[in-house]
Structure 1
Amino acid sequence: MDLPLKAIRVLDLSRLLPGAYASQMLADFGADVIRVEEPASGDYTRTVPPYGPDNISLYFLAINRNKRSIALNLKSERGRAIFLRLVQDADIILESFRPGVMERLGLGYERLKQEKRNLIYCAITGYGQNGPYQQRAGHDLNYAGYAGLLHYQRDSSGKPLMPATQFGDLAGGSYMAIMGILTALVGRAANGEGRFVDVAMNEGVMSLMPLLMAAYLNTGKLPIPGHSSLDGGLPCYNIYETKDGEHITLAALEPKFWHTFCTRIGHLELLPFHSPVGRGEREQAMEVLSSIFKTRTRDEWLSEFSDVDACVGPVYTPEEALRDPQIQARKLILDNDGYKALTSLPHILGIEVEQRYSPPTLGEHTNVILREAGYSGEELQQLRGEGVIE
């Protein structure tokens, strides 16, 4: 079966994680993704440790398979002319510069539309294309802070916690870009029109909190961090330490699961504490549950609940998570020429994600791509001599 995005070409000018992860997903599902990189330096992740096979950054390896690379100097007039020619055969432009950078190069959306009327142009920025913060520098942690997420991630002393993964880059940037691009592609198939997709990572982080924001917007009140129903406020939906110092997740939100849980542990007196009203009741129930869970090891508890639906699960290390039989059965790990990485999701029936070719070296496909665009060998030699390409 042909990959669903086989007929789509992407020119990816982005740097670092958000754009690269998004374009890898497009590439894994068949798109011809061409990374347009700066000569000599290329994408910054090429030099970020730790290093894997052939001394290549594992960060770069993780998010750049199935792509081609052209090293092109967009600061030169001839480099920009080459890019404009490439745009004529492209479907999607993906970039992550601050607003206005592409316009100053003469390569903004309005200019590129002259080359390709139905072009889809996706810009990933920290704060969006307008507003007082549009030119402000930032990284993942900043976006999580601005969005209000860190306010609800706190340790036992009340201090905001560093996120364990890159919510802004991945959820706010990569996945928002994919949703916008694919939505625009569907629209283009229906009406032939291109679109500008404006992805702001801080907004993407905020979109992860629809329940909290709806509560505030409609009542003017916010739950206390660690005390709302889904972040530690319920005994039936919490994390508990076990006898061996490991942890168990209990997520028996529905009464039927709570009843099954209380029955299995032999403590039916806890049934009324499914949703305690008073703070004292909440703390009392959690203290009882904490004592109960410390009577057995994590794996003993997992064995105890293996044959019933009570929404009890482990807190795994990443190593344990990757070894889990469910993950193994779902084939989430790709083995690519000596290094391993996660596949692109979701699973699509009949489509098997594989590495068709390795993450490219800087400018590895410059000659091939420009030959496809109609440049002669003599022209390529001249362009290379002028420092336009590498």
Structure 2
Amino acid sequence: MTACTGPLLSLKIVEIDAIGPVPLAAMLLADMGADVIRVARPPAGGVAGAWDDVGGDVLHRSRDVAYLNLKDQGDRESLLDLVEHADALIEGFRPGVMERLGVGPEVCLSRNPRLVFGRMTGWGQTGPLSMRAGHDINYISLTGALHAMGSPDSPPLVPLNLVGDYGGGTMFLIAGLLAAILSAQRTGKGQVVDACITDGVTSLMSLFHAWTAKGLWQDAPASNLLDGAAPFYRCYRCADGRDVAVGCLEPQFFAQMIQGLGLEDRGYLQNDRDGWPAMEADFKAAFASRTRDEWAAHFAGTDACVTPVLSMAEASLHPHNTLRGAYIERDGILHPSPAPRMSLTPSAIGDWRETSVAEAIARWKGD
């Protein structure tokens, strides 16, 4: 573990190897200085340091790995020895798996009453779906989020797993974990954090529930201010087949965008929904007259809120991102830089290496 900086420098966290939200949560915590030990199954064939998941080069950064077979009694005892010195443990199995392995919350908290036991699932620890399989698209479909991002004429597009796995999952797991650690430091008592993706996404939908209650949001796709219905908050295809994003919600920004398109003489009433179809048609025709990069240059330096829709490769080369160092290349692999940024205790990307439980405990004890 080479990352020795960050605001979480004193925290000791056990990560039970998983897919989905858990490794990203562990990566972010480790980037911020937490000493995270990833407990993973022994590699196939006994080859040390070999893993078979495609996200490991980035998502497994900044923390060491200890290989344990949790179906083996001796290795389970090694895990509990590690837990005894930890501030928190995070896992992403279905409900009951850790208990069947003999390392559930009750056992772990008996070894370390201050431990925070973070549990990450799609459906939660309880409820009729708790034992069912699922993925990001299933979780956001039951929260109203996928429906709200859809189209009235076709099924919703398949979104990246940012809203469910990482928004409703990873970020709520981290928030709950750190809150429970603060509580344990104050009270001496640990607890279980039930981080459920459907709970998290439902919470993320709070604004739209508030707007619905006030009559400001229709529970129908593509019929609202932020779901693509508004001509001034959506994307447009340009002459070269690439796209721009338009987000001029405020009237002063809308005015700059209209001026930039040369349409200021149309007399648009921005929030008059009856006029939106004609406005959209005008915008489509205007943006189709130049290339994406020509429009990007045209609107550069304005508050018109018009930006190019970049590919991942293009994003890593954009001047704003390069100036801020938003990406770091390590060993030929492009990594997103740690976020958020800290003024006093900056986060950093660390390497990973294989370690033993005994070595990890010695380090945690300061031996």
Q: Distance in 1 between matches of 2:151 and 2:217?
A: 22
Q: How many angstroms does 1:150 deviate by?
A: 2.1
Alpha-carbon deviations, 1:154-200, whole Å to 9, x = none?
Answer: 35842221113443221122111111112222333333332311111
Q: Distance in 2 between matches of 1:203 and 1:304?
A: 43
Q: How many angstroms does 1:368 deviate by?
A: 5.1
Q: How many angstroms does 1:33 deviate by?
A: 0.9
Q: Gaps (5+ residues) in structure 2?
A: none
Out of 178, 193, 198, the position equivalent to 2:194 is 198
1:46 corresponds to 2:51: yes
SS in 2 for 1:273: coil
Other-structure match for 1:388: none
Alpha-carbon deviations, 1:5-42, whole Å to 9, x = none?
Answer: 12111111141131111111111111111111223459
Letter in structure 2 aligned against 1:265 = L
C-alpha distance 271-235 of structure 1, shift in aligned 2 (>3 A): farther
Out of 283, 290, 293, the position equivalent to 2:277 is 283
CA RMSD of superposed structures (Å): 2.5
Other-structure match for 2:362: 372
Out of 68, 76, 94, the position equivalent to 2:90 is 94
Out of 273, 290, 296, the position equivalent to 2:290 is 296
Other-structure match for 1:21: 24
Q: Given that residues 6 and 348 in structure 2 are in contact (C-alpha distance below 8 angstroms), is that contact kept between their aligned partners in structure 1?
A: no
| Superposition pairs of residues 52-71 of structure 1, within 5 angstroms | 57=54, 59-71=55-67
Q: Distance in 1 between matches of 2:170 and 2:228?
A: 29
Q: Distance in 2 between matches of 1:276 and 1:220?
A: 14
| Superposition pairs of residues 1-390 of structure 1, within 5 angstroms | 2-41=5-44, 46-48=51-53, 57=54, 59-154=55-150, 157-216=153-212, 222-278=218-274, 281-358=275-352, 360=353, 364-366=354-356, 369=359, 372=362
Q: Distance in 1 between matches of 2:92 and 2:118?
A: 9
Q: How many angstroms does 1:307 deviate by?
A: 2.6
Q: Distance in 1 between matches of 2:43 and 2:259?
A: 65
Q: Distance in 2 between matches of 1:316 and 1:367?
A: 44
Q: Distance in 1 between matches of 2:313 and 2:332?
A: 18
Letter in structure 1 aligned against 2:205 = M
SS in 1 for 2:36: strand
Alpha-carbon deviations, 1:55-94, whole Å to 9, x = none?
Answer: xx4x111100121111122223222222222111111110
C-alpha distance 368-111 of structure 1, shift in aligned 2 (>3 A): closer
Other-structure match for 1:377: none
Letter in structure 2 aligned against 1:252 = C
Alpha-carbon deviations, 1:329-348, whole Å to 9, x = none?
Answer: 11121222332211221111
C-alpha distance 156-27 of structure 1, shift in aligned 2 (>3 A): same
Q: Distance in 2 between matches of 1:87 and 1:295?
A: 62
Q: How many angstroms does 1:139 deviate by?
A: 1.5
Q: Given that residues 37 and 360 in structure 2 are in contact (C-alpha distance below 8 angstroms), is that contact kept between their aligned partners in structure 1?
A: no
Q: Distance in 1 between matches of 2:257 and 2:361?
A: 65
Q: How many angstroms does 1:296 deviate by?
A: 1.9
Q: Gaps (5+ residues) in structure 1?
A: 49-56, 375-390
Q: Structure 2 length normalisation: TM-score? A: 0.89
Other-structure match for 1:383: none
Aligned length: 357
Letter in structure 2 aligned against 1:113 = L
Q: How many angstroms does 1:286 deviate by?
A: 0.7
SS in 1 for 2:276: helix
Between the aligned residues of both structures, percent identity stands at 32
